[in-house]
Amino acid sequence: MKIARFTLSLAVALLLAASLSAQNVVSQWNAIASTAIVVNAKEGPAASGVWFAYVHLAVFDAVNAIDHRFQPYLFTSNPPAGANMDAAAIAAAHWILVNYFLSQQPTLDTEFATSLAAISDTAANIAAGRSVGEASAQALITARANDGLLANVSYTPPVGPGYWLPTPPSFGLPVTPWLGQMVPFTMSSPAQFFPDEAPYALDSQQWIDDYNQIMTLGALNSTVRTAQQTEIGLFWTEHTGQQYARAFQNLATQKGLQTSDTARMMAMLWAGYADAGIGCWNAKFTFSAWRPVTAIPVGGGNSALTADPSWLPLGTTPSHPEYPAGHACVTGAVSTILAGFFGTPKLAFTVDSLVTNTTHYFNGTSDWTHEVENARIYAGFHYHHSVIQGRVLGLKVAHNLTQRYFGKAR
């Protein structure tokens, strides 16, 4: 992995403009979705994947209903010859976003009109494609009715050493407990890939080792963490959905993917992201494990450990239980999906961060996943055991998805 710091020079601005103009409509509406979901609606990093999945599953089915290259996820049709694929993708994304974010309709309608106007085709073909896209979106909306989105799920953590406590600075309630109970997109249940291992017992040597590691490496004032490790820890604290939305768009552009292949790739990635989040949250709220920021000040429930009442992590701890690590879950899923999609784990991949204003370049998916795992330790968020088991959960989600969905049409 290489790190580069960028500045908003004229040359970079021109490159960014060229990249945007080279994007196909699926990538463009992925960016629009990111603004709607993350910037405007302020949905959380893990939960945001659900809305991204709604968008891209509808887009995939709409596009696929026209070219019939792959097995449909949910919807299929036989539109008139010449139905425009780009119009179908635009209409599907727009219909989904307006349905779930009705207050944003004026802005989304403007984006919709602009996108359609940029298509060079007959009015009849554009209208036919639009009809397919809207039908695909409505089919998904109907199928996902009562799927548990934003359900009122109560959560009361157990009391005692090892169990979750509210974390500073807000000491608020844990976020999105509903996510771990909602109907998945490709799994049979939220608990299909429930971890085989529990968090380490507080009297175990493994717990002592993990505690001491993060106490030193993950501290705000760590004297052993290097400058590069600090940058890595902070790099990955950007909103994960927002950060990966840009990375996926850039990859589609870099690889020169057209509408159909981009639609399939995005559907696979976001369905995997969402299901990894669902499975992860199901486990998190089952185990209810405490975070380093609440364990270390009281000595980790083990007399062999040292307490540090003033200990704080490098980053601000997310407000939900610790085990397994959410970022490791979703990264394990999407990295595995990408390796399968392109037929190799030796995939050149670029991610940038709005937190550090740096860009990381990876030569393979394993480098990427290992950096994310280490980053959660450097940031002071997760124990080593948690990031490993998170990646395992994500791998299982990805393998199930690629074996059962989005295959070539028979």
CATH 3.30.470.20 fits 2-152+159-404, yes or no: no
pLDDT of residue 4: 59
Contacts of 214 (CB under 8 A, 6+ apart): 292, 296, 377, 380, 382, 383, 384
Task: Give me the tens of pLDDT residue by residue for the chain, a chain 410 residues long.
Answer: 666 544 333 333 344 444 445 689 999 999 999 999 999 999 999 999 999 999 999 999 999 999 999 999 999 999 999 999 999 999 999 999 999 999 999 999 999 999 999 999 999 999 999 999 999 999 999 999 999 999 999 999 999 999 999 999 999 999 999 999 999 999 999 999 999 999 999 999 999 999 999 999 999 999 999 999 999 999 999 999 999 999 999 999 999 999 999 999 999 999 999 999 999 999 999 999 999 999 999 999 999 999 999 999 999 999 999 999 999 999 999 999 999 999 999 999 999 999 999 999 999 999 999 999 999 999 999 999 999 999 999 999 999 999 999 999 98
Q: Name the token pair of 312.
A: 């704080």
pLDDT of residue 123: 98
Asked if 289 and 207 count as a contact pair (C-beta separation under 8 A), the reply is no
**The model's pTM:** 0.95
**Dihedral angle at the C-alpha atoms of 87, 90, 93, 96, nearest 10 degrees?**
-60
Which residue reads 């550090």 in tokens? 356
pLDDT of residue 2: 61
For helices 25-34 and 48-67, what crossing angle results, to 10°?
Answer: 160
Contacts of 197 (CB under 8 A, 6+ apart): 385, 389
pLDDT of residue 8: 35
* Percentage helix, strand, coil for the chain under 3-state DSSP, each rounded to 5: 55, 5, 40
Identify any residues that bridge with 351 across adjacent strands, giving them in sequence order: 360
pLDDT of residue 410: 82
pLDDT of residue 57: 99
Q: Give the max Cα distance, the chain.
A: 75
